[in-house]
């Protein structure tokens, strides 16, 4: 159902949607104000990667976008214990959110 995109109570606002919205809306704004588009998009590209890295910390704290279970014991494995999170409980997982942030 395409209308569920507009339902914030059904899920979070993912940063990728923000980046896509900026890439669609900003060129129209810049054209209306007669500002060169390519230099502004070059600058925005830097901050898009930074925004993605920061958003992955939010995914880590929410327990979503989790990684595969750890097959061998590694010191950086994460075990989620909050039953309200999205990750499986008490299973050591790779922290892919932190990998993506790095």
Q: What does pTM read for this prediction?
A: 0.68
pLDDT at 77: 95
Mean pLDDT by 10-residue block, N- to C-terminus, for the chain (102 residues)? Answer: 71 69 87 92 84 87 89 92 89 93 90
What sign for the dihedral angle of Cα 13, 16, 22, 23? negative
Collapsing DSSP to helix, strand or coil, 11 comes out as coil
Residue 49, token pair as written in the block? 């990667």
Cα end-to-end span (Å), the chain: 35
pLDDT at 98: 93
Average pLDDT, the chain: 85
CA–CA gap between residue 51 and residue 70 (Å, rounded): 28
pLDDT at 46: 84
């Amino acid at each position: 159902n395409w209308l569920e995109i507009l339902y914030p109570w059904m899920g979070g606002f993912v940063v990728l949607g923000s980046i896509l919205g900026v890439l669609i809306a900003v060129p129209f704004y810049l054209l209306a104000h007669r500002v060169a588009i390519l230099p502004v998009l070059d600058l925005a590209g830097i901050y898009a990667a930074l925004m993605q890295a920061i958003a992955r910390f939010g995914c880590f704290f929410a327990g979503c976008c989790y990684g595969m279970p750890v097959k061998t014991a590694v010191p950086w494995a994460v075990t989620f214990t909050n039953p309200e999170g999205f990750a499986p409980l008490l299973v050591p997982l790779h922290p892919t959110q932190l990998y993506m942030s790095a």
